[in-house]
Amino acid sequence: MNIKSFCSLGAMTLLLTLTIRPTVAAEYVPVGPQPTPGRGPASVEAAPSPSIFGNIISKAFGSRQSVVEVRVPNPDNKPITFPKCAAPPTIAEIGGNFDTYRYTMSRSAAAKLNIVGGMGSSESSGEEMIAVFEFSRSKECLATDGKTRMVYGQAIRTVMSFASAEGKISVSFPVVAASATMAGKTSTVSVKNIGFDDPAMRLKAVAMSSINLDVGTYAEFSKLHRELIDLAAAAAIPVTVELLGIISVLEEDEYKSTLLSAYAIQAIKDGKSCADAKTKLKSPDDTVALKVIDSTYVAIAGVCSGTSPTSASITKAQEYLRGMTVKR
């Protein structure tokens, strides 16, 4: 079944749509080129599976839109090294149509995934976020560790920087451009053709990457992007199979937090205080559950106490639930 739940990301909030399965949920996470031994920046070995799945998480919050979180301990934000597939998919196995996907992540997460290699920072104020737009087709394969699922294929990957202070999670090209202009700044852009070997595509990617995006440059940028997409879709373009990303897995603890957040939002909608919501738990001494309820009340109602939520908080909870009813 599908369940929608509230989640907090720094100073921002969003509505998650998660598909509940009997065991775990899987979402694609884009990654950059893997470090070559003896060349490039030093790398950090990813935690052995299944720990890696609990530390690199992609949560869907709309049609082909996800928020990526990387929890691998790595204060220097060095790229993570992932295992490889012994027999990556062939071009014939990938084939098919291209789809468009969008991802939002912190700059530190993007650095660990090697998404922002060589990309400068934006001029925006506030905590910097990274938006990844991907026009791709791909196929999964099992890595040599026997656990990690890797994704190979071809993609046009457009990476943009923006500030969380701008309050944007569901981002798009025009949204990033408009936000930058309103702040009197620009957004830096990086465009990479992954698995495509075509001079015309390389020239357009370079041209797009040289643009500091705002409302004034949006038309030119959008035109170049459409032309690049058209070239990628042309059958005559030579393609190769390249690493695009990994499949993250949402484990049981993540399910638990998501469901508890939904329960707390329902309690706010019903006018119940935070203290009342906690007493209704089947295990009132569950510290994890208590923390999730506490943080959800603080995020929506501003406080976790024995006082009933205000009408404004109740209205906000109704908006998050969007007609859904959560039963204990």
* Each residue's pLDDT tens digit, 139-192: 999 888 787 889 999 999 999 887 654 444 556 777 777 777 676 676 788 999
pLDDT at 294: 86
Highest-pLDDT range among 9-23, 50-64, 119-133, 223-237: 223-237
Range of the domain at 279: 251-321
Residue 14: inside a domain: no
Full-prediction pTM beyond 0.95? no
Q: Of 249, 268, 293, which closes a domain?
A: 249
Strands 242-250 and 149-163: antiparallel
Over 50: is that where the pLDDT of 8 sits? no
Q: Tell me how many domains the chain contains.
A: 2
pLDDT at 212: 84
Highest-pLDDT range among 139-148, 158-167, 198-207, 210-219: 198-207
Q: Smallest Cα–Cα separation from 121: which of 106, 135, 134, 102?
A: 106
**pLDDT tier at 235, thresholds 50, 70, 90:** low
Q: How far apart are the first and last CA of the chain?
A: 16
Same domain? For 232 and 267 the reply is no
Q: Of 249, 269, 292, which closes a domain?
A: 249
For residue 100, the cross-strand partners are 135
* CA–CA gap between residue 135 and residue 196 (Å, rounded): 12
Residue 114: inside a domain: yes
Over 90: is that where the pLDDT of 271 sits? yes
Residue 8: inside a domain: no
Q: Cβ distance 300 to 316 under 8 Å? A: yes
Contact residues for 81 (Cβ-Cβ < 8 A; gap 6+): 34, 35, 43, 44, 45, 46
Same domain? For 199 and 311 the reply is no
For residue 80, the cross-strand partners are 44
Check residues 86 and 326 and name the one with the higher pLDDT. Answer: 86
Q: Of 208, 225, 249, which closes a domain?
A: 249
Same domain? For 143 and 159 the reply is yes
Tell me how far CA of residue 193 lies from CA of 190, 249, 326, in angstroms: 10, 27, 44
Q: Does 284 sit behind a cis peptide bond, omega within 30 degrees of 0 on the bond before it? A: no
